[in-house]
Each structure stands twice: as C-alpha cells, then as structure tokens.
Amino acid sequence: MPITLGELAPKLNATLASGDPARRIEGVSSLADGDERHIAPFTDARYLPQLKQTRAGAVLAQDQAVAKDLPSGTALLCTADPELALVTALQLLYPEPEERPEVHPSAVVEAGAELGTGVHVGPYAVIRAGARIGGRSWIMAHAVVGRRCVLGEDCRLYPHVVLYDGVMLGRRVSVHAGSVLGADGFGYKFRQGRYVKVPQISTVEIGDDVEIGANTAIDRGALSPTRVGAGTKIDNLVQLGHGVTVGRHCILCGQAAVAGSARIEDYAVVGGNAGVADHVCIGKGARIGAMSGIGTDIAPGKEVFGPWAQERRKAFREIAAVRRLPELFERVRELERRLDKESPEAK
C-alpha cells in the first residue's frame, strides 16, 4: 500500500527532517537491502556503516544528527521511538490480507454450532456441535474446532490448528499452523507394574490478545484449566503441561517446556529451550535465560541462567572462568615444573 513521506510521517508520530514529502514509499527494508521505494530503520549505532551506504529512499531514526551520515537523496524521519514507529509502518504498508466472510463448501459446520457475523471458515475446516465463533474470526483450512469451544471476536486459527472440546479463546487470539490446544495432559500413576492413565477432565483458557506460535502444544488440565493470561506471546514449538498457569504479558520463547501445575506470573520471560519443572513458580517479571533448568521457585524480578538456574551475572562469571581452565591448568603445570627443579630432592 504505497504512501508518501508527507502522509507517512504523522502516522508514525515522526517529523520529516529532510527529503521530499511527495516521495512515495512502497515498503520497509533493512538499511543494507533497501532501495528508493523503501523506508529503513536505524536503531543502533553498530549499523552506522550500513547507514552510510544505504540506498533506501528514507531512514527512520531517533536523532536528527544522523543526517550528516545519510547518502545524498535519502530522506530522514525522526521520532522518539523508531522501533515502535517501525511496527506502525509495517502495519500500514503490509496489511494482513482479508479473508472473505464465508463458509467454504468443503467445510463441515455441525448443527448447533454458532458463527458470528463476518466469520470465515476455510476449506475442509471442521466446527463441531456447540462451538461458538465470535464475529470476524477466521478458521482456516483443515482447522478443527471441537465441541463447546468458545472463540471471541477477531480470532485467527491458521491451517491445521486443532482445538479439543471445550477450549476457550478470548478476543483477538491468533493460533498459528499446527498448534494443538486441549490435548490430554501427561498424567499417569504407576500401579501394579503398569501406568494407569489419569483422566484429564478440564480444559484450556486463553486470554485476550494472546498469540501462539506454530506447532505449540497446550495441554488441558486434569481438574483445573490450563490458563494463559491476556497479552502473552508464545513462540513456536512450546509445550505447556496440564494445569499450567501463565500470567499476563509474558514471553515464552521457542522450545520452552513448562511442566504440569507450574505457575508463571505476569511479565515473566522464559528463554528458548528452557525447562520448568512441575509445581514451580516463576515470579512476576523474572527472566529465565535460554537452555536454563528451573527446578525451584524463582523470585519476582530475578534473572537466572544455566542448568542450575543461577543468578545471571554469577552464571556468566562461572562460564568465563571455565573457558580459562586450559590456560590455568597449563600455568599450574609450569609452576609444578619450576618447583620440582628448585626442590632439594631435585638437587
């Protein structure tokens, strides 16, 4: 969706510091790859070499002082928050394609399912009896919405998403391709030489404005629901076990795994490939580093890292010390050789 710089600047809460307001911008690109049709962000001094050589038609930056480093003919838009302005530019220039409000002839909508106004149901999608789909929601190809599921307005289920019976989504929830919400929690009891399955009779509840990445699995609770709070963002390939509670505005990065009945409080961040043991509580605003193992509660606001979930700075100091071990071993051996030569026995 092309737009002139003069039209774009106020939409980004930016000032056109230099350049032709009539120049048309058609897209967003990096400093290295842009051409005269693009606007490119400059958000870090380490990209200064790229800034000096960019062919982008306009640059989005915080400080007007960068004008001296711009190539001739490149316009400059200044704003207090270039990263947020970049998000707005992407939304303006790359609007999400609209799906037609229709039910595809190959879709299956069982009797008793309710579809709100403007709902799109794609090819081979299935909506079971008793499900309620909020207005303007999209159920894309091969997605399955189980019995008694409830979706708020403006939800997006991408291809091959599966919602088991009774799953509840708030408004503006996006679930990306291949994700499964509401499968049985992993609950078994070992009795008389075999594992006995514990029925998982609860469900999954997702708050407003949650985004769930591709191929993520969120299991239903055994007795109480698995819950994800409003505004939380979950990456691809994340596993939430039965009865987990995730607070509001949390971040869970790819391949993180959270075991049953663990609790993650508001604004916490769990790094990629981290593992959280069952019944552990991660406090409000805590940050868990990538590949960390969390076996005990983490206090609010604390940053931890590593297999033993140490305080972040201490863990990094230990890693640095481990890297020096070969050098230290060699120095010790050299000292031993000197002592051997100087000892009375050697003489």
Catalytic residue list = 242
**41-to-3, 18, 325 alpha-carbon distances in Å:** 17, 15, 42
Adjacent-strand bridge partners of 76: 18, 59
Sheet holding 75-78, edge to edge: 15-18, 75-78, 58-61, 38-41, 27-28
Coil, strand or helix at 329: helix
Tell me how far apart the alpha carbons of residues 217 and 60 are, in angstroms, rounded to a whole number.
Answer: 38
Tell me how far apart the alpha carbons of residues 213 and 223 are, in angstroms, rounded to a whole number.
Answer: 26
Cα angle: 38, vertex 44, 47; to 5 degrees: 65
Pairing assessment for the beta strands 303-305 and 310-311 based on DSSP bridges: antiparallel
User: Do the Cβ atoms of 94 and 27 come closer than 8 Å?
Assistant: yes
